[in-house]
Chain A
Amino acid sequence: MHIARELLIRILAGAAVLWAAASLAFAILQLFPSDPVQVIYGADSSVTPELRAAIRADFGLDRPVWEQYQHFLARIVQGDLGTSYQQRRSVISIIGSELGSTLTLASLSVLLAIVMACLASLVTSGRRTWLRKALSSIELLSVSTPTFWIGILLLTFFSFKWQLFPVVADEGWRSLVLPVATLALAVFGSLSQVMREEMDLALEQPFILTARTRGLSEWAVRWRHALGHTLIPCITISTETFGGLLAGSIITEQVFGRPGLGRITLEAINNHDIPVVMGIVLLVAFVFVTLNIVADLLYRLADPRLRVSAA
């Protein structure tokens, strides 16, 4: 019962967040100095005043702002995000056609980053070895290097120089390796730092000592007992990063010429393609709201104490 009620409250709160995001985005875009007509028609060309008026009427831009806002909200509730100024396609279909590619990239990258970070903290926490030092340096490097640069470096060596993975041809998984590696490296740094810290702390806890006295091997202690304690920060960081990657893989998608939400976000912002920008704002708000709910549920799985207190 409790869970159901809590979930309902969360969903309502999520809806409020979505409404606020939509309204805020609408308000900000109203403040933009740009004339959408020029965008709709294309920056290369000049527009006659008659054509301007015709386009305005076509997209409902000649109506008062309040009316545009009402119309905008009504459409969203009906699941209609409008039509792109630039591509003349519905925003839903644009997002739909790009979502798959981004989802694949984002989930594989986060998954790879989690696996790498888990391994790194299992192997190196609580020890002062050369391996720990080496991994720490890699983490630091990955956190402080722009994704763009990681991508270009990986391309330069693995695609241009040694020709192991293509950037032009579409060869299934081989085309995915470099972009996934780029994003995973970027995520790995911070994830691994936090997880090792947590594991360091966990390894000093009394229950670890108890486990050791029971004669468990070092590996079993880490795998079965300590790793669980790193899951909460791991869930927090991964869900947040995953959400961010959905719209935030702009650079990676641009460098590798991959279709995806990041690419259309960048294009939409550059071209002031307002309906697409709005659609993406709403999508990202939706994704974060959902991920937060999912993360809360996952916390309960990861930490039994949360289950007890909620019941």
Chain B
Amino acid sequence: MVGFGSAAVSTRMAGLALCLSSAFLCAPGVAAAQDKPQAGGTLRVVTYEPLCLDQIEGTSRNTQTALQSIYDRLVSESLDGKFHSWLASEWAISEDQLTYAFTIRDGVTFHDGTPLNAEAVRFNLQRWLDVKKAGSAPVESISSKDNVVTVKLRKAYSPFLHDLSEPTLGFISPASIQKYSKEERCAGGPGVTAGSGPFKVASRTPGRDLVLERNDNYNWAPADAAHQGKAYLDRVELRFLKEDSVRVGAVESNQADIATGVPAISVEDIKSKPHLKLLQTQQPGIPWSFWLNQSKSPLDDVRVREALRVGADYAGLIDAVFLGTATPAYAALTPAVALGHDPSLEKSWTFDEKKAKALLDEAGWSKTDSQGFRVKDGKRLTLRGISATPWSNQQRDLYAQGLKAAFAAIGVDYVRDVIDFGSADARFKANDYDIVDTSQAAGEPNLLYGAFYSTETWDKNTNWGFVKDKDLDGALADGLATTDREKRIAAYTAAQKIIAEKVYLIPIANPTVLLAVNKKVQGVTFGTSGQIGSYYDVWLSK
């Protein structure tokens, strides 16, 4: 057994590490470590609404983001991809990578007063297995004895700790699950929603707000938090406003302290307000990219794929459209994925219209029709792209229009439909598309497995390109088989190189997550999926 002790990082060090790893976070002039955090006050956040307060029942990114201060997890993952003790004071992974033993920390209680012990953890994990089939983790069994929870896997699965650190796996009081119906738990409310986190639910009005108040018993913060003990804030008021411009207006007029989901067009406006600061971080995950469908003509030909990659000035368009809120992407993992991003791919291709045209000629698309589009065997070189409504936004729509013009210049007819998710699912099923454009958010390189492993096609995962590559499968399997950090980095670097070489994906933009924050708010962090972090370390300067 390989053991991991609880990493006792001093709070000052943790804060400093955060500053260094994401320079964006530490804008000059913002109060830094020398200011002593002050307790008290109410934080007002305007953000999106969670659907169901029991995250195992209903889930969405919004749900997880809003609820991460209410529920605690087994382990905590910092932005550098390292794990820290939380409810598990220590853990051990067996040599064959199949058995995980977590020692549960003493003295933790849920908001309803019941103890959070090994049995409660086992109950929650079992529920995750029963209701959600444990996501994509190959969990075989879960058992608890004394203060140890043991999870057995059917096969090695390196992202397991990451999965356990995700907000979805926050633990709910088993007593509350037995006492309240599914419906009551989803609606939530004080008393009903019982986690063990630094904040508990004070009230919920669906469609309007969720108010959290401090849990004064809290004394089990993750080891990588900036402080220990109870949270600084008295209350957090999450107010749900769907309109981007209204959220921005609310922080600008001082009706709120933090706005999430700030659109690119508001960036200059926010920067011009003396009482506001703009926090931004690069989204960890797969960049906004084109998944290229290689199961059929024309994208089954690597020359056509390469022509698409060099046939448009992707980098130039990004500056024009994203207004500084995205950077050109080259690797299949964004630079924010500390564990795995391959920086050697930066600028590994450049805009070369001549080369693109030559490649298309070579691939047999040398004739053109009356409208100037290339044809082969009487068929026009049309690429049908799809994106789902939640995957797109104003900037991406605009960018795609720019690409359409650029592709037309090399004789490629690019059509893009933005459709609802259900319809997109139907198009996947019918294999009725050439390109899918989206981005994926998670600070875990195994995302590539779901997006490119040969068996992970649309019906169970996101290999929309029908990529079937033995070497790539091998690299992705290697990354999955070991929890050794260096070995994993090597495996995912190899995978990204294959993806780039064979043009399985055209990475376009590394998205940025933007928050508009009042300058009196200190200690705001970002989570491993690029979402705003827990409100535990946040405080208000007077």
Contact = CB atoms under 8 A, between A and B. Distances in A.
B57 interface: yes
Interface in A208-257: 253-257
Scoring A87, A89, A168, A271 by chain B CB atoms within 10 A of each residue's CB, the highest score goes to: A168
Contact of B249 (A47, A156, A264): A156
A87 B52 contact: yes
Contacts of A46: 136, 450, 456, 460-462
Contacts of A193: none
A121 B248 CA distance: 39
Nearest to B255: A168
Interface string B241-278: 11101100110111110000000000000000000000
A51 B133 contact: yes
Interface string B189-225: 0000000000000000111110000000000000000
B249 to A, nearest CB: 4
A170 B460 contact: no
A86 B58 contact: yes
Contacts of B24: none
B389 interface: yes
Given A42-B58, A159-B255, A257-B240, A167 B250 contact: yes
A87 B462 CA distance: 25
A273 B462 CA distance: 22
A45 B166 CA distance: 13
B60 interface: yes
A259 B205 contact: yes
A35 B207 contact: no
A257 B422 contact: no
Interface string A157-179: 00111010011111000000000
Interface stretch (A16-24, A62-70, A93-101, A295-303): A93-101
Contacts of A89: 183, 186-187
A76 interface: no
B423 A33 contact: yes
A214 to B, nearest CB: 55
B246 A33 contact: no
Given A160-B253, A257-B241, A98 B59 contact: no
A257 B242 contact: yes
Contacts of A161: 253
Contact of A43 (B44, B253, B421, B456): B421
A152 B245 contact: yes
A159 B249 contact: yes
Contacts of A272: 420-422
B253 A47 contact: no
Interface string B457-494: 00111100000000000000000000000000000000
Interface string B99-111: 0000000000000
Interface residues of A, number: 51
A124 interface: no
Contact of B61 (A32, A33, A44, A263): A44
A86 B209 contact: no
Contact of A88 (B58, B240, B245, B249): B58
Interface in B40-71: 44, 46, 51-52, 57-61
B59 A259 contact: no
Contacts of A253: 207
A92 B464 CA distance: 38
Contacts of A36: 422
Interface in A268-296: 270-272
Contacts of B357: none
B183 A93 contact: yes
B255 A169 contact: yes
B194 to A, nearest CB: 18
Given A33-B426, A35-B422, A42-B59, A258 B460 contact: no
A155 B460 contact: no
B434 to A, nearest CB: 19
A254 B243 contact: yes
B355 interface: no
A153 B29 CA distance: 34
B309 interface: no
Contacts of B182: 88
A38 interface: yes
Interface string A45-79: 11111110000000000000000000000000000
A136 interface: no
B250 A50 contact: no
A34 B52 contact: no
A39 interface: yes
A258 B205 CA distance: 10
Nearest to B427: A33
B5 interface: no
B303 interface: no
B239 interface: yes
A255 B207 contact: no
B207 A160 contact: no
A155 B46 CA distance: 15
A167 B133 contact: no
Contact of A167 (B51, B58, B255): B255
A47 B250 CA distance: 38
Contact of A87 (B186, B390, B422, B456): B186
B58 A34 contact: no
B501 interface: no
A257 B208 contact: yes
Nearest to A264: B207
Scoring B206, B239, B426, B462 by chain A CB atoms within 10 A of each residue's CB, the highest score goes to: B206
B369 interface: no
B301 interface: no
B18 to A, nearest CB: 26
B425 A38 contact: yes
Interface string B344-361: 000000000000000000
Interface in B126-151: 132-133, 135-136
Given A33-B422, A34-B421, A93-B183, A255 B59 contact: no
29 contacts: A32-B423, A35-B425, A35-B426, A38-B422, A42-B60, A43-B60, A43-B390, A44-B59, A45-B135, A49-B459, A87-B52, A87-B58, A88-B58, A89-B187, A97-B206, A101-B207, A152-B245, A159-B249, A159-B253, A160-B250, A161-B253, A163-B255, A167-B246, A168-B46, A168-B256, A170-B209, A257-B207, A257-B240, A257-B243
Interface of B: 44, 46, 51-52, 57-61, 132-133, 135-136, 182-183, 186-187, 205-209, 239-243, 245-246, 249-250, 252-256, 388-390, 420-423, 425-426, 429, 450, 456, 459-462
